[in-house]
Amino acid sequence: MNRFIGFIKKEFYHILRDRRSLFILFGMPIVQVMLFGFAITNEINNVDIAILDHSKDVHTQEIINKIAASKYFSIKGFISHEDGIESTFKKGKIKAVLNFGKDFSKDLVTEKKVTVQILTDATDPNMANTISNYIGSILQNYQQELNQGLKLPYQIIPRTRMVFNPELKSVYMFVPGVMTIILMLVSAMMTSISITREKELGTMEILLVSPLNPFQVIVGKVVPYILLSIINAVAIILLSIFVFKMPVQGSLFLLGAESILFIVNALSLGILISTVATTQQAAMMTSLMGLMLPVILLSGFIFPISSMPMPLQFISNIIPAKWFIIIIKGIMLKGVGLAYVWKETLILIGMTLFFIGLSVKKYKIRLE
Amino acid sequence: MKNKENAIQVENLTKRFGDFTAVNNISFEVGKGEIFGFLGANGAGKTTAMKMLIGISKPSLGNAQVAGFNVLTEAEQIKRNIGYMSQRFSLYNDLTIKENIVFFGGIYGLSSADIKEKSQTMIHELGLHDMANSLVGSLPLGWKQKVAFSVALLHNPKIVFLDEPTGGVDPITRRQFWEMIYREANKGVTIFVTTHYMDEAEYCDRVSIMVAGKIEALDTPKHLKRQFQADSMNQVFLKLARNRE
């Protein structure tokens, strides 16, 4: 046991003294979660807009109130003339202007049909597109309220007509995926690199000549990464709960247990890679190409599996990450228990045993 | 050597990788406390032969006893009784000298009190007081090799295997290194050393020269020089290699 603790201590020295691995271990998870959570998002929050109201009637006032009440926009000014629009945009703060024409109410009541102009600052095209969609949906919402119980409906026509999806909370979708990537990266790539590093430097030979048996060597190398991966998983879950207010519906215990299962799965893949690769570079490339790419592309994290061509759908079944994402999405977002994910769990366990068995076999061959 | 109890006894040891025979039916013995030079050109099969002796490679044919244990069946006991220093650097560069000592002492099952005592003696003998807490990576190569040799001796092995320990080291440090080897041999430790430097071959009690997987010559440096009518081991080596071509 003493021996073992000494070994793990040494492994931590390696990790803590190597800035690169420290960054991958602790910087990456945080950066990734923040990136996916904040930057790559389809949501908008408190966007500054201005109003140009030529009509100033009951209906425009109601629409303005509705917009002001939503958390997506805050009204930061009223413009009295078309000439003011350009200068407003030039200042850079205002991202959109809502332009109500003269006689808005009159047209609405008499013609049952009126248009509203939405001007958006298109220097950020994505943002502009999203803003006009949001405003459009608020207008539509208002129109529906007006039309309740009316035979001849009113129509307010905005420039865009895309349907607003209030369920589009991108961060909720990203967290399970990011967690999967991070755990794969830390567990599989880092262990395979750290084992091949010993091979490359020649110290593996020294360890094999020592009374430690190969099994102890591998376990000693893997244990620190199990601990670090668990810390990472906890950090990601805490970030998503406290920073992104993402509710974890299901049991935290089950979530933890499934995460550990996936960590062990990834570690066994890492060991398998290290039995094949002889250099750190090879280990890294194999991990990136063989593990990360499939995880990103085929696990259902970014591209829905159901819309893939059949052969790819078939291949996605052999990717452990696919099953893990199904499991944690179920637990985190739907709050399901083991009764609903036991199949996926069994598949993961089976894969893990297979990888461990295979690496034990491979590892022995290398020692002959 | 027959009257001595042998530290290493090799009988018809052979290693094949597919069609290629890396080590071809070699037999020799090494006496206790002997400094045995294991010479040969690159690719002659030295390292392969050595790996079979230290228990990390299984012989295809033949057998060997190391420290009284059989390489086929008792590899684990062999590992406890030998020290090994590899051609490539065998300490961790990102650990300090002290941490390396503690780590290697630990995996050989030494008690912490033992490790503490040994590391103090070692640091004292090598005159490394100022550097005990600096990273091994910051030491000059010669120093590293000296530390590595001492670390290989931590658990009092009966036999030490040195795989080109002085590669790339300056002549003065090489000299000091050999003094360390002599000191250990005098204590009764058997030294099995491979080297490229023919002047170092002269320091050995006996040398074997491997050519293409076979041992082509084995005797004391003095006898070998007489046998091949050469002035130096360098000439012996060249003559042997040429004969083969």
**pLDDT, tens only, B84-136:** 998 777 789 889 999 999 999 988 888 889 999 998 998 998 888 888 888 98
Residue A48 pairs with which residues in a beta bridge?
A74
Res B10: pLDDT? 93
Res A120: pLDDT? 79
Phi-psi region of B10 (alpha: psi -120 to 50; beta: other; left: phi over 0): beta
A3 to B56: CB separation less than 8 angstroms, yes or no: no
Q: Does A368 contact B at CB distance below 8 Å?
A: yes
Q: Which of A173, A166, A232 is nearest to A36 (CA)?
A: A173
Give percent above pLDDT 70 in chain A: 88
Residue A313 has pLDDT above 90, yes or no: no
How far off is chain A from B163, nearest CA to CA, in Å?
Answer: 11
Band (pLDDT 50/70/90 cuts) for residue A91 is low
Which stretches of chain B sit within 8 Å of chain A by CB?
54-58, 76, 79-80, 82, 84, 86-95, 99, 102-104, 106-109, 112, 135
Band (pLDDT 50/70/90 cuts) for residue A258 is very high
What number is the average pLDDT over the span B4-33?
89
Q: Does A307 contact B at CB distance below 8 Å?
A: no
Res A351: pLDDT? 94
Residue B198 has pLDDT above 80, yes or no: yes
B107 to A212: CB separation less than 8 angstroms, yes or no: yes
Chain B partners within 8 Å of A17 (Cβ): 94, 135
Burial class (CB in 10 A: 0-12, 13-18, 19+), A269: buried
**Assembly ipTM:** 0.82
**pLDDT, tens only, A263-287:** 999 999 999 998 888 888 888 888 8
Band (pLDDT 50/70/90 cuts) for residue A163 is very low
* B89 closest CB neighbour out of A9, A202, A213: A202
3-state secondary structure chain A: CHHHHHHHHHHHHHHHHCHHHHHHHHHHHHHHHHHHHHHCCCCCCCEEEEEEECCCCHHHHHHHHHHHHCCCEEEEEEECCCHHHHHHHHHCCCCEEEEECCCHHHHHHHHCEEEEEEEECCCCHHHHHHHHHHHHHHHHHHHHHHHCCCCCCCEEECCCCCCCCCCCCHHHHHHHHHHHHHHHHHHHHHHHHHHHHHHHHCHHHHHHHCCCCHHHHHHHHHHHHHHHHHHHHHHHHHHHHHCCCCCCCCCHHHHHHHHHHHHHHHHHHHHHHHHHCCCHHHHHHHHHHHHHHHHHHHCCCCCCHHHCCHHHHHHHCCCHHHHHHHHHHHHHHHCCCHHHHHHHHHHHHHHHHHHHHHHHHHHHHHHC
Residue B9 has pLDDT above 90, yes or no: yes
Chain B partners within 8 Å of A10 (Cβ): 92, 95, 99, 103
